[in-house]
Chains A and B, each alone.
Chain A
Amino acid sequence: MSLEQPNNQTRIAGYLDMLLVDHSVWDEKLSLAINPPIRPLDTVAPGHYLLTTEKFGSGHRVVKYTHLLNSLSILNKLPSSRLKSEVLHRCLPLAAEAMLCD
Chain B
Amino acid sequence: MRIWSIANQKGGVGKTTSVVSLGGLLAERGARVLLIDLDPHGSLTSYFRYDPDSLETSLYDLFFNQRGKDLDYIRKVILPTSRKGVDLLPATTALATLERQVSGQDGMGLVLAKTLAQLWDDYDYALIDTPPILGVLLVNALAACQRLVIPTQTEHLALKGLERMVHTLKMVMSSQNRQLPYTIVPTLFDRRTQASLTTLKEMRQLYPEHLWQEAIPIDTKFRDASHEGLFPNEMDSLSRGVRAYRHLLTELDSAEELRHESRTAK
Contact = CB atoms under 8 A, between A and B. Distances in A.
B166 interface: no
Contact of B106 (A12, A13, A18): A18
B215 interface: no
A16 interface: yes
Interface in B94-110: 104, 106-110
Contact of A21 (B106, B134, B172, B174): B106
Contacts of A22: 107, 110
Contacts of B168: 12
Contact of B143 (A12, A13, A18, A20): A20
B172 A20 contact: yes
A102 interface: no
A12 to B, nearest CB: 6
B238 interface: no
Interface residues of A, number: 10
A20 B171 contact: no
Given A12-B171, A13-B171, A13-B175, A19 B139 contact: yes
Contact of B110 (A12, A13, A17, A20): A20
Interface string B104-134: 1011111000000000000000000000001
Interface string B163-199: 0000010011011100000000000000000000000
Interface of A, secondary structure class, is helix
Main secondary structure of the interface of B (DSSP, over half): helix
B175 A17 contact: yes
Interface in A5-26: 12-13, 16-23
Contacts of A17: 175
Given A12-B171, A16-B171, A16-B172, A23 B134 contact: no
B139 A20 contact: yes
Contacts of B171: 12-13, 16
A18 B106 CA distance: 5
A63 to B, nearest CB: 20
A12 B107 contact: no
Interface string A70-94: 0000000000000000000000000
Interface string A11-46: 011001111111100000000000000000000000
Given A12-B171, A16-B171, A16-B172, A21 B107 contact: yes
Contacts of A20: 107, 109-110, 139, 143, 172, 175-176
The 10 A-B residue pairs with the shortest CB-CB distance, nearest first, are: A19-B109, A16-B175, A20-B109, A21-B106, A19-B139, A20-B175, A23-B107, A21-B107, A17-B175, A19-B108
30 contacts: A12-B134, A12-B168, A12-B171, A13-B174, A13-B175, A16-B109, A16-B139, A16-B171, A16-B172, A16-B175, A17-B175, A19-B107, A19-B108, A19-B109, A19-B110, A19-B136, A19-B139, A19-B143, A20-B107, A20-B110, A20-B139, A20-B143, A20-B172, A20-B175, A20-B176, A21-B106, A22-B107, A22-B110, A23-B106, A23-B107
